Amino acid sequence: MNIICLQENLKKALNIVERIIGRNLTLPILNNLLLSVENNKLKISSTNLEIGINHWIPCKIKEKGSITIPAKLINDFINNLPNEKVELKIKNKQLELKCKKFKSVLNGLSASDFPIIPKIESQPLVSIKNNLLKNSFAQVVEMASISESRPEISGVYMKFYKNTIKLAATDSFRLAEKNIEINSKELKEQSIIIPQRTVLEIIRILGEKEGQEEEIKIALSNNQILFDFNSTQVISRLIDGQYPDYQQIIPSNSQTEIVIDRVELINNIKVASLFTGKVNDIKMFIDPGKSIIEISSKNTDVGENKSKIEADIKGNEVEVIFNYRYILDGLNNIYSDKVIIGLNDNVKPVLIRPVGDLSYSYVVMPIKV
C-alpha cells in the first residue's frame, strides 16, 4: 500500500469505525482496524464478531495492499495531525505515515488474520431517510431487555409490511412501538430481531453524520442485516427466535383518558422519585372531578412528597402505582408538548402516546399492590 488521503477524511472515518472496538485480550487482532484498498478508495474496517463496519474514503493510489493497525493508536495519531495530506505506506509489516513535518511508523498485524466481515450481495429490501431511521430507532432501543435469559427480547423487533415498518422493543415491564411509513409495494411481509448494540451503533453513526440528508438501504441475507449508506456499511448478525406477540398487550380502548403537559409531568415525577422505596414506586391519583392528577411518594427514611398537576381527564377516577423510571423512559422518548395517557384500572397496561402522532405507542405495566 502506498496512498495519499486527507487527514480530515481519515479522522471522520476512524471515528465511525473505531467505536465498536473493545479491549480484546484473547484475540488481539480484534483491537485492530483493517486498512485496504478497494474500488480506488481506502477501505477501513472494524469488527467485534457481531457487528462489522466498513467505511470508504477517497484517496490517491500509488500501490495497493492491506494491513491491520491498533484502532486506538491510529485514531489518536490521526486526530492530532494537522488537516493536511497524509501518506500511508506499508513497509516490512509496518505502516509508515507522513504528514507535513511528521513521520511515524506504526506496528501492525497481518491483514490475512483479520476476521472476514460477511458480504451481503442481495438487493436492498427498502430504503429509509437517515433522520427518520435514527429517531425511530432511538424511540424504542432502550426498552429492549438487558437480561440474557430471553435473547429474543434483547433486541429490537423490526417487521416489514408493504407500506409500513414496525419497530418494537420490550423488557416485559414496558414496551415501545414505532411505525415508519414507507412506500415499497414489492416488500414481502417478514420480521427480524436486531441486537440492541447494533441499533445503538446505527443511531450513533447516523448522529455523527447529522446534517446531510441521505437514504439508508437495508438488505438481509443468511441471518445478517446490512445498513448501507453513503460510504458506510454496517453489517450485523440477527437474533434467532420468535418475538412475543406483543400487539395483544397494547390496549385498544381506555376507561380513563388524560391529556397532560409532558414536561410538567416529567418534572413532577422527578421530584416524586426522590422519595420512592425499593421498587421506585410513585402513586398517581387521577381525579376527573377536579381535573387534577396527584402524584405522591413516601420513604420512611427520607421523607415524603405530594404534587398536583392540572390535566384534561375523561372517564373514571383511578389510583395507580408505577415504577417512575418506566414512566420517565416513555415520556422522554415522546417529542410532543402534550401526551395522552389511557388507563383502564390499576392493574391493566397503560398506554402513553404523543398528542397528534399516532406512530408511537408506549405501554407500561402498573405495579400491583
C-alpha cell at 359: 406512530
Whether 48 and 20 have beta carbons less than 8 Å apart is answered as yes
Whether 4 and 87 have beta carbons less than 8 Å apart is answered as yes
In the bound state with its own copies, the residue whose beta carbon lies nearer, of 29 and 73, is 73
Q: How far is the CB of 299 from its own copies (least distance, A)?
A: 9
Nearest to 54 by CA among 70, 75, 33: 33
Q: How far is the CB of 273 from its own copies (least distance, A)?
A: 9
Q: How far is the CB of 32 from its own copies (least distance, A)?
A: 12
Q: State the Cα–Cα distance between residues 79 and 10, nearest whole angstrom.
A: 9
In the bound state with its own copies, the residue whose beta carbon lies nearer, of 107 and 230, is 107
Dihedral angle of Cα 179, 181, 184, 189, to the nearest 10 degrees: 20
**3-class DSSP state of 168:** strand
The H or E element containing residue 219 is: strand 215-221
In the bound state with its own copies, the residue whose beta carbon lies nearer, of 189 and 301, is 301
Q: How far is the CB of 70 from its own copies (least distance, A)?
A: 8
Q: How far is the CB of 28 from its own copies (least distance, A)?
A: 11
What b/e sequence results for 281-303 when a residue is b if at least 16 CB atoms lie within 10 Å of its CB, and e otherwise?
bbbbebebeeeebbbbbbeeeee
Q: State the Cα–Cα distance between residues 44 and 12, nearest whole angstrom.
A: 11
In the bound state with its own copies, the residue whose beta carbon lies nearer, of 90 and 220, is 90
The secondary structure of residue 139, as a DSSP letter, is H
Beta bridge partners of 293: 286, 309
In the bound state with its own copies, the residue whose beta carbon lies nearer, of 74 and 117, is 74
Binding stretches for its own copies (CB under 8 A): 70, 73, 76-77, 80-82, 94, 101-107, 267-268, 270-271, 274-275, 301-309
Q: How far is the CB of 276 from its own copies (least distance, A)?
A: 12
In the bound state with its own copies, the residue whose beta carbon lies nearer, of 70 and 342, is 70
